[in-house]
Amino acid sequence: MTEQSLETRDMLLNVGPAHPAMHGIVRIITRLEAEVIREADVEIGYLHRGFEKMSEEVPFNGVIPYTDRLNYVSPLINNMGYCMAVEKLLGLTVPERCHYIRVLMSEISRVCDHLTCIGATAMELGAFTVFLYMIKAREFLWELVEEVTGARLTISYCRVGGVKADLPGDFAGRAQEAIRQTREVLKEVDKLLTRNRIFVDRMKATGKITQEEAVSYGITGPFLRSTGVSFDVRKAQPYAIYDRLKFEVPLGVHGDNLDRYYVRMEEMEQAMRMVEQCLAQMPPGPVGVSPETGEPIPAAEMVDKAKRGEIHSIAGRAAVTDPTLEGSGQSAHPAIGAAEKRVFLPPKEDTYGNIEGLMQHFKLVMFGHGIRPPKGEVYFPVEGANGELGFYVVSDGSDKAYRVRVRPPCFTIMAALPRLLQGDMMADVVPTFGSVNMIGGELDR
């Protein structure tokens, strides 16, 4: 048989959504010539949650639990971005301590996100030990998040006008210890991966994109910075207190998967430095019950005494609330929330302890009342773990947003995925897709 009589044809191959590396929510249709990808078509839509329309059906603070489910690996950044968009609409400024707490928790969240991304990608390439080490480090930080917010993943910590609770009294020491342990893990991972021949060969020169292509696709974040473009929302348009923090923006050169690994590794170190600066610069704010307040009393017991008319026994005493609200006491309230009764919920001591607090809380959570920004529209971007996370909010003057639109950072990267895969080998799909750090919640709102 002569070579000319052989028939050659391309092969269409589905990768996902059931493929373990596709997270069950993405399908890539590849056209292969042998093992080389000539074309790829990416299909999303397996995790559509209707975030934007749901956000138009509940009051402004009711959207916050939904933002947790956008990038559910770094939900604190989502919380902060949405709240700052609504605060911009209101023309509201939160206390300085609140800004520091938000930034502190956002940077902890960023490290958690990068740990998950690198750990999962390494595991999919066979480096299972690295995955275990990274998840161990993430656990140190998740314990901090749980201590502050009362939850680990779906934290719903921010509020329009402030945050749910102040930092616990011993938080600084625990945070510094968690950062020390995380740095030790990153040193171990650096030894395991950075000069590992197999890992470098799998990552280097795969998933390449040029600066011009990345910019034209609208890509931001570590993916864009791996090409050498120095764009970071925290530097380009500083928000909160980022202009007071000293940090560098890590850059790559080649725009390939290996450079994206380098950039994320260095970004974790920069984020931890920012956490340390926030702890050092944190403005003072009262934590706990003020000295002039009487002994705390369980909220249910206070209510019962009030019903029986035993006012003298509860006068001047503070109500003990749910453990997850520890630190959000009356004395700490001015430091973590804006002094605007029409926006920020009152302390629980007031809600349970006097009629004015109860009425304020009632009005803010009732449908048809609540927070009522003036008519207008705003766009507010923050630097998410994957890039620019922007919230576009339109108000018609009611207690619910007329329109909410999200600019999810990994959506633009996924749009460029066919270009990234073209010309690479079939085996390169896994490291390239891993470096995208695709999060289904923000990808398919």
Provide the CATH number for the domain around residue 403. Answer: 1.10.645.10
Q: Encode pLDDT of 267-292 as tens digits.
A: 999 999 999 999 999 998 754 444 44
* H or E element that contains 321: none
Cα separation, 90 vs 284, in Å, equals 26
pLDDT of residue 78: 95
Asked if residue 379 and residue 259 are part of one domain, the reply reads yes
Asked if residue 69 and residue 108 are part of one domain, the reply reads yes
* H or E element that contains 15: strand 11-15
For residue 322, what are its two tokens? Answer: 């749910």
Q: 356 lies in a domain?
A: no
pLDDT of residue 286: 56
Asked if residue 88 and residue 8 are part of one domain, the reply reads no
Cα separation, 111 vs 442, in Å, equals 18
Asked if residue 274 and residue 178 are part of one domain, the reply reads yes
8 A C-beta contact, residue 171 and residue 147: yes
Q: 93 lies in a domain?
A: yes
- Bridge partners of residue 125, in order along the sequence: none
For residue 162, what are its two tokens? Answer: 């402030």
pLDDT of residue 288: 43
Cα separation, 317 vs 300, in Å, equals 13
* Of residues 391, 396, 365, 387, the one with CA closest to residue 379: 391
Q: Encode pLDDT of 214-261 as tens digits.
A: 999 999 999 999 999 999 999 999 999 999 999 999 999 999 999 999
Q: 156 lies in a domain?
A: yes
Q: 258 lies in a domain?
A: yes
Asked if residue 319 and residue 227 are part of one domain, the reply reads no
Q: 409 lies in a domain?
A: yes
In the chain (445 residues long), the average pLDDT of successive 10-residue segments reads 70 86 87 92 87 94 93 94 96 94 96 96 94 96 93 92 89 95 97 94 94 95 95 95 95 95 97 96 66 64 83 75 57 86 86 86 90 95 96 95 95 94 92 91 85
- Bridge partners of residue 275, in order along the sequence: none
**What does DSSP say about strands 158-159 and 401-407: parallel, antiparallel, or unpaired?**
unpaired
Q: 429 lies in a domain?
A: yes
Among 268, 303, 326, give the residue marking a domain's end: 326
Asked if residue 81 and residue 17 are part of one domain, the reply reads no
Q: 343 lies in a domain?
A: no
8 A C-beta contact, residue 213 and residue 195: no
* H or E element that contains 296: strand 294-298
8 A C-beta contact, residue 21 and residue 434: yes
8 A C-beta contact, residue 140 and residue 131: no
Asked if residue 193 and residue 124 are part of one domain, the reply reads yes
| Three-state helix/strand/coil letters over 211-262 | HHHHHHHCCCHHHHHCCCCCCCHHHHCCCCCHHHCCCCCCCCCCCCHHHHHH
Asked if residue 399 and residue 295 are part of one domain, the reply reads no
Cα separation, 255 vs 207, in Å, equals 8
8 A C-beta contact, residue 225 and residue 231: yes
Give the structural domain span for 304. Answer: 289-326
Asked if residue 253 and residue 390 are part of one domain, the reply reads yes
Cα separation, 401 vs 348, in Å, equals 26
Asked if residue 199 and residue 160 are part of one domain, the reply reads yes
pLDDT of residue 321: 60
Asked if residue 300 and residue 227 are part of one domain, the reply reads no
8 A C-beta contact, residue 385 and residue 437: yes
Asked if residue 300 and residue 245 are part of one domain, the reply reads no
Query: What is the domain count for the chain?
Result: 3
Cα separation, 124 vs 429, in Å, equals 11
pLDDT of residue 168: 87
Q: 334 lies in a domain?
A: no
